[in-house]
Chains A and B, each alone.
Chain A
Amino acid sequence: MIPRDPLTDEIRRRQRSRAIVTALALGAFVILVYFITIARMGGN
């Protein structure tokens, strides 16, 4: 059995949490662009 490297585990944990936050931000951006489009179309 190969012992787990705590440093690698910590890197993986940070990468995972950053990936989740980035995904949430991108999702929010997509929703925002949708509503901006609707608002600007309504204005015209």
Chain B
Amino acid sequence: MTSTTCTQATALPAEWRDFVALTKPRVMTLVVFTGLCGLLVAPVAIHPVLGFTAVLCIALGAGAAAALNQWYEADIDALMKRTASRPLPAGRMDRQSALHFGVGLGFFSVILMGVATNWFAAAVLAVSILFYVLVYTVWLKRRTPQNIVIGGAAGAFPPLIGWVAVTGQADPLPLLLFALIFLWTPPHFWALSLFVRSDYSRAGVPMLPVVSGPRVTRVQIMLYAVPMAIAAVAPWPLGLAGIVYGVAAAVLSFAFLVLSLQVLVNRAVEPAAMKPEKRLFAFSMLYLFAIYGLLVVDKVLAA
């Protein structure tokens, strides 16, 4: 009965909404925002149409990477509560459509970026898509608990791409912004994976809490939070941002460290008792939005 339903479902052409869902629009918000901030804090201005196109290309590139990620991971997505309703595991789309859509969207975003801005930005965009799909999804995710540490680099590219789209070169500030997201990713994802550990365990994904347990994960969260806070504040003493950004980044980073410390001292094993982890996860998203937003505000105030 189930197989009949599944066959019928996959025999139908997917709805256009399922293609949109394949691009993970919610994750894309953060990508678009950080890419836009990278573009806005660049020292020179860009024509609004070209700036819009650059951000659009960053969004489409992220969507392509997400589609290819789901194409490759349909089997493990089906095993996790959090991902089971995605178009592929739910049987609303066939894998070939997802693959064609992802590859097509990836090529389109890179070529459009090259035509509208410059080919260096297009190359960095291409590297970010390939890094997410090949290095993170295909190579690391199922093999090592350090998957999101190295894979986190893929999510760190957008502000760098935004900056390069405007200036045509990579400078210290966008590299620091890259480092910030790179160091932010492990505490963010490990906080989440602590309270959805059973999901990852069922799917056989070797996330750190599954392989090494909550204690080691909590220590690792703290170990990454410290250099992340330093990377967040660094633009101020280095003269790359003003006092408004510096003070606000210091306060927000201090709050991040306090929340990480609360996670470190928590001994809970059951998700219901993991309030500090849930708080850190929620705050980490707000933190990244605020840090990047503040950098733009600081630049506007300095102008």
A residues near B, CB below 8 A?
Answer: 7, 10-11, 14-15, 17-18, 21, 32, 35-36, 38-40, 42-43
Contact = CB atoms under 8 A, between A and B. Distances in A.
Interface stretch (B7-15, B71-79, B163-171, B247-255): B7-15
A7 B8 contact: yes
Interface stretch (B45-53, B222-230, B272-280): B45-53
A14 B56 CA distance: 26
Majority SS at the chain B contact face: helix
A38 B47 CA distance: 10
A11 B13 CA distance: 7
A43 B12 CA distance: 48
A43 B15 contact: no
Contact of B13 (A14, A21, A38): A14
22 contacts: A7-B8, A7-B12, A10-B12, A14-B12, A14-B13, A14-B14, A17-B15, A17-B16, A18-B15, A18-B16, A21-B16, A32-B53, A32-B56, A36-B50, A36-B53, A38-B49, A39-B49, A39-B50, A40-B50, A40-B116, A42-B47, A43-B47
Given A36-B115, A36-B116, A11 B12 contact: yes
A17 to B, nearest CB: 6
A39 B49 CA distance: 7
Contacts of B15: 14, 17-18
Contacts of B16: 17-18, 21
A15 B8 contact: no
Interface of B: 8, 12-16, 47, 49-50, 53, 56, 115-116
Contacts of A14: 12-15
A34 to B, nearest CB: 10
A43 B118 CA distance: 13
A5 B265 CA distance: 62
Contacts of A15: 13
B60 to A, nearest CB: 11
Of residues B14, B16, B56, which shows the largest number of chain A Cβ atoms within 10 Å of its Cβ?
A: B16
B110 to A, nearest CB: 15
A33 to B, nearest CB: 8
Nearest to A38: B49
Given A14-B13, A32-B49, 10 more contacts: A7-B8, A10-B12, A11-B13, A17-B16, A18-B13, A35-B49, A38-B49, A39-B49, A39-B50, A40-B50
A30 to B, nearest CB: 13
Contacts of B12: 7, 10-11, 14
Nearest to B56: A32
Central interface residue in B12, B15, B49, by most chain A CB within 10 Å? B49
Contacts of B49: 32, 35-36, 38-39
A7 B16 CA distance: 18
A14 to B, nearest CB: 5
